[in-house]
Chain A
Amino acid sequence: EPEVTQTPSHQVTQMGQEVILRCVPISNHLYFYWYRQILGQKVEFLVSFYNNEISEKSEIFDDQFSVERPDGSNFTLKIRSTKLEDSAMYFCASSEGPTDIPRKAFFGQGTRLTVV
């Protein structure tokens, strides 16, 4: 069964460093998302991406965050200067094309980011 894959599974970084989290969405999907989940808290929406541009972003997704689809398969989340409070599990998700309403999102296994 097709799945969303994320790398790395764990990332430890020093405060102030840049990190890039990588995702390969399901191949025929056109909508891509990043969510995060701080330990013990609920899953929170960060950003959605369609047709090579951001279609929606949350208040969390400030200037320190950016997303990119550098080629036909990868979707990345960059955090420019990490803060302690960025420590969380980051989930990538994807869903099908425009006729899939509401959009059923399928999630990757997540990257656990720890900022020290």
Chain B
Amino acid sequence: GQNIDQPTEMTATEGAIVQINCTYQTSGFNGLFWYQQHAGEAPTFLSYNVLDGLEEKGRFSSFLSRSKGYSYLLLKELQMKDSASYLCAVSIYNQGGKLIFGQGTELSVKP
């Protein structure tokens, strides 16, 4: 079966760095995506990885190790507005672009 695990919630301090981990067991892996979702709103695309390594986009970076079935999202210089749910999602090869989502990690940024 397909399984994606991430911590349910995390707390961090404004200005700090936080790392949100995601592990997956899927067949036909075709890429891993990170989305941000504020309560009651749509998921917003943040980053994706297809190959192993680190992808950096401003304050956000995402890392992938396919052999370990592991990814993380790194958020630097945390701001209060970064308080949201962070969704890890896996794209499966040859399944019409389908994304399988994890439960999401609720991040609270405190002053």
The residues of A with any CB-CB pair to B shorter than 8 Å are 31, 33, 35, 41-45, 48, 50, 55-56, 58, 89, 91, 95, 101-110
Asked whether, in the complex, the Cβ of A102 is within 8 Å of the Cβ of B48, the reply is yes
B residues in contact with A33, CB < 8 Å: 97-98
In angstroms, how far is the closest chain B Cβ from the Cβ of A76? Answer: 18
Given A48-B96, A55-B96, A91-B43, do A43 and B101 touch, yes or no (CB 8 Å)? yes
* CB neighbours of B107 from chain A (8 A): none
Known contacts A42-B102, A102-B48; is A109 also within 8 Å of B96 by CB? no
In residues 54-111 of chain B, which contact A (Cβ within 8 Å)?
87, 89, 91, 95-104
Roughly how many angstroms separate A104 CA and B45 CA in the complex, as a whole number? 8
A106 to B42 alpha-carbon distance, docked (Å):
9
Q: Which B positions have Cβ atoms within 8 angstroms of A?
A: 30-31, 33, 35, 40-45, 48, 50, 87, 89, 91, 95-104
Contact between B33 and A104 (Cβ–Cβ < 8 Å)? yes
| Listed A/B pairs (8) with beta-carbon separation below 8 Å | A42-B104, A43-B104, A44-B101, A45-B101, A56-B97, A56-B98, A91-B43, A110-B41
CA of A108 to CA of B44, assembled, Å: 9
Known: A42-B102, A42-B104, A43-B87. A105 touches B97 (CB 8 A): yes
Within the assembled complex, what's the spacing in Å between the Cα atoms of A89 and B42?
Answer: 9
Q: Does A31 contact B97, Cβ atoms closer than 8 Å?
A: yes
- Minimum C-beta distance from A90 to chain B (A): 11
Which residues of A sit under 8 angstroms from B31, Cβ to Cβ? 101-102
Question: Given contacts A101-B30, A102-B91, A103-B91, is CB(A45)–CB(B98) below 8 Å?
Answer: yes
